[in-house]
Each structure stands twice: as structure tokens, then as C-alpha cells.
Amino acid sequence: MSTSTQRTSSQDLGPIQPLYVRITHWINAIAIFIMVGSGWQIYNASPLLAFAFPPSLTLGGWLAGGLLWHFAGMWLFVGNGLFYLVLGLKRGHFRRKFLPIRATDVMADLGAAVTGRLSHADLSVYNAVQKLFYLGVLIAGVVIVASGLALWKPVQFKELAALFGGYEGARLVHFFAMASIVLFLVIHVAMAVLVPRSLRAMIGGR
């Protein structure tokens, strides 16, 4: 059996993206949009670095409004993320999709991507760079929630806050975790534009 036939047969067995992955993906997109926009509004009330975000890109209108939106997005993000993690672990999604990751494979696929030779023929299989990026953003999601809890309740979660170097340390970690997620989103959207079949798979499954 040829490679192309094998790929076709494997994709005919089921959807490229299971229904729960598609649902949690789009809920997550909404939650992150809310959290980033409202987070930038909160940041502008007390800038951590020597710049502020344009008001047109923020959500909430003022500090209290930003906080309300941020907490709403946070609970949606956490609840949706836990649902995705539980089902992903139970059904072996992470093991099949994200493992193993080898440094040699990452370098080879990165070189192929830079030179425009990276194949996207089989969307059911992630290349090594995708695996690394998806695992990285999952870790960033855990870090941003943990640091957010330390900022929200620094007394009740004082041990967690201490792990990040105190309140100001948690602010820095939270900011850079947000920046890494936003960078991932920019790359993710760019790849969806370059490979529109991947977007169709995330909408319809096939």
C-alpha cells in the first residue's frame, strides 16, 4: 500500500480533529480574547514596563471593568482547559499528537519550514515544530493560571506567590506568559491562513 493510500485510509477512519477538541479550541479562543483584552486594560492601570497598550485594543473601559471581564474569561479558560486536559489524557490525545519530541526532528522540521519544504499533506500528524509549540502553549497556560492566582489572592496563595518571587515577580511571570501565548496566536493564525485546510479541519473535523 502506498503512503498516500495509507494516509487516506487513516483519515477515513475518523475526523482529523475530534469534536471535543474542536469545541474546546473555539471556546478557548473566546476566553483568551477576553483575557488578553481585559488583561491589557488592567496592565494600563499600573504599567509594568515603560509602555501602555492602545485603549482600542483593551476590554473593560477602566480598571474595574477590566477586572470583571478578566475574571469572567479566567473561569471560562480554566473550566474549558480542565475539560480538555481530562479528556485529552483519558483518550490518549496528548500521547498520540504531541509525543515524542526529539531535538533532531525539531531542527529538521524547522529547517524545512524556513525553506518552504515542510509538508502539510497529512493534517492528522503534527510535525515536530507543531508538537513543541502546542506543548509550550499548554505549559504557558498552566503558568499564566498559577501566576494569576498568586496575583488575585497573594495572601491566601502566599506559597504560590513566593514560588514566583513575590507579587511583583508573579506580575512579570504573568506578563511574559501572556506574551508567549499572544506570540503563539500570531503564528497559529498565520499558519491557518497559509494552510487553510487546517482551519476547515478545526471547524468541520475533516
Which tens digits make up the pLDDT trace of 145-174?
999 999 999 999 999 999 999 999 999 999
Which pLDDT score, from 0 to 100, does residue 193 have?
A: 83
Q: 3-state class of 73 per DSSP?
A: helix
Closest CA to 63 of 84, 47, 80, 74: 47
Which pLDDT score, from 0 to 100, does residue 144 have?
A: 95
- Residue 121 — pLDDT band, cuts 50, 70, 90? low
Half-sphere exposure of 99 (CA within 13 A, CB side): 7
What mean pLDDT do residues 15-38 have? 89
Helix (H) or strand (E) holding 189: helix 167-194
Please determine, for residue 31, whether its predicted confidence score (pLDDT) is greater than 90: yes
Any residues with CB less than 8 A from the CB of 177 and at least 6 apart, and which? Answer: 140, 143, 144, 147
- Average per-residue pLDDT in the chain? 85
Any residues with CB less than 8 A from the CB of 195 and at least 6 apart, and which? Answer: 120, 123
Residue 173 CA, chain-centre distance (Å), reads 16
Q: Given CA atoms 94, 91, 183, 166 in this order, what sign does their dihedral have?
A: negative
- How much of the chain, in percent, has pLDDT values that exceed 70? 88
Rounded CA-CA distance 94/192 in Å is: 21
Rounded CA-CA distance 82/146 in Å is: 14
Angle of CA points 136, 112, 102, to nearest 5°: 45
What mean pLDDT do residues 3-22 have? 58
Please determine, for residue 76, whether its predicted confidence score (pLDDT) is greater than 90: yes
Which pLDDT score, from 0 to 100, does residue 204 have?
A: 74
Please determine, for residue 1, whether its predicted confidence score (pLDDT) is greater than 70: no
Lowest mean pLDDT, pick from 17-31, 33-47, 56-70:
17-31
Residue pointed to by grid coordinates 501566576:
147
Please determine, for residue 125, whether its predicted confidence score (pLDDT) is greater than 80: no
Any residues with CB less than 8 A from the CB of 72 and at least 6 apart, and which? Answer: 34
The maximal CA–CA distance of the chain, rounded, in angstroms, is: 62
Please determine, for residue 48, whether its predicted confidence score (pLDDT) is greater than 80: yes
Q: How is residue 157 annotated by DSSP? A: T
Which of 65-69, 90-94, 107-111, 134-138 shows the highest mean pLDDT?
65-69
pTM of the model as a whole? 0.82
